[in-house]
Amino acid sequence: MDLDDDLPKKGDDPLARLLRQDLGPLSMTDLEARIAALETKIARTRARMEYAVNHKATAEALFKR
């Protein structure tokens, strides 16, 4: 299975562009900065997911009363 099989089909999708970016020309400093930025984005995404789960649970609990 090719990595591209998992990519969104829209060519302008930001995630697809990110995954296809050539990392070869980047310096070690650039790569470290990229990793730091991606880790920050991952933490932000996980926090949003947790919020969504908690929000849904709160709503379900409210309507079960």
Domains of the chain: total: 1
50: domain range? 27-65
- The answer to whether position 34 is within a domain reads yes
| C-alpha to C-alpha distances, 22 to 25, 31, 55, 59, nearest whole angstrom | 7, 11, 38, 44
Q: Is the dihedral of CA 18, 24, 27, 29 positive or negative?
A: positive
- The answer to whether position 1 is within a domain reads no
- The answer to whether position 45 is within a domain reads yes
- The answer to whether position 22 is within a domain reads no
- The pTM assigned to this predicted structure is 0.66
- The answer to whether position 56 is within a domain reads yes
Q: Residue 26: which residues within 8 A CB-CB, separation 6 or more? A: 34
CA distance 32 to 38: 10
pLDDT value of position 7 = 54
pLDDT value of position 2 = 55
- Assess whether pLDDT exceeds 90 at residue 64: no
pLDDT in tens, 14-55: 888 888 999 999 999 999 999 999 999 999 999 999 999 999
| Res. 1 pLDDT band, cuts 50 70 90 | very low
